[in-house]
Amino acid sequence: MSLISAIKNIFSAKRASDSSPHADIGNTEPICPYCDAAIDKMPGRKKKCPSCGEFIYVRTRPSDKKKILIREDQISAVEEQWAIANGTHEQFLAIREAYEKEKDVLRNKFGSDPSENDIRWSILNKELLKHAQKFQWGFYRNARLAMGDILKKESKDLEALDTYMEVCYLDVNGPNNCCTRDPEILRDYPPFDPKMAFVAPGVIGYIDNIIGNYRLTQEQVEQRFIKVAERIHKSLKLPVVPERAWKILKKEIYKTQET
Chain contacts with Zn ion (rule: CB under 5 A): 32, 34-35, 37, 49, 51-52
Cβ 50 to Zn ion, closest distance in Å?
8
Q: Specify the amino acid at residue 41.
A: K
Given the complex with Zn ion, which of 50 and 202 has the nearer CB atom?
50
CB 179, CB 135: distance < 8 Å: yes
List beta partners, residue 58. 69
Cβ 34 to Zn ion, closest distance in Å?
4
Cβ 38 to Zn ion, closest distance in Å?
10
Going from the C-alpha of 152 to that of each of 115, 206, 216, the distances in angstroms are 15, 9, 17
Cβ 56 to Zn ion, closest distance in Å?
7
Given the complex with Zn ion, which of 35 and 241 has the nearer CB atom?
35
Burial tier of 193 (Cβ tally within 10 Å: 0-12, 13-18, 19+): middle
Given the complex with Zn ion, which of 37 and 196 has the nearer CB atom?
37
For residues 103 and 107, what is the distance between their CA atoms, to the nearest angstrom? 6
Given the complex with Zn ion, which of 69 and 204 has the nearer CB atom?
69
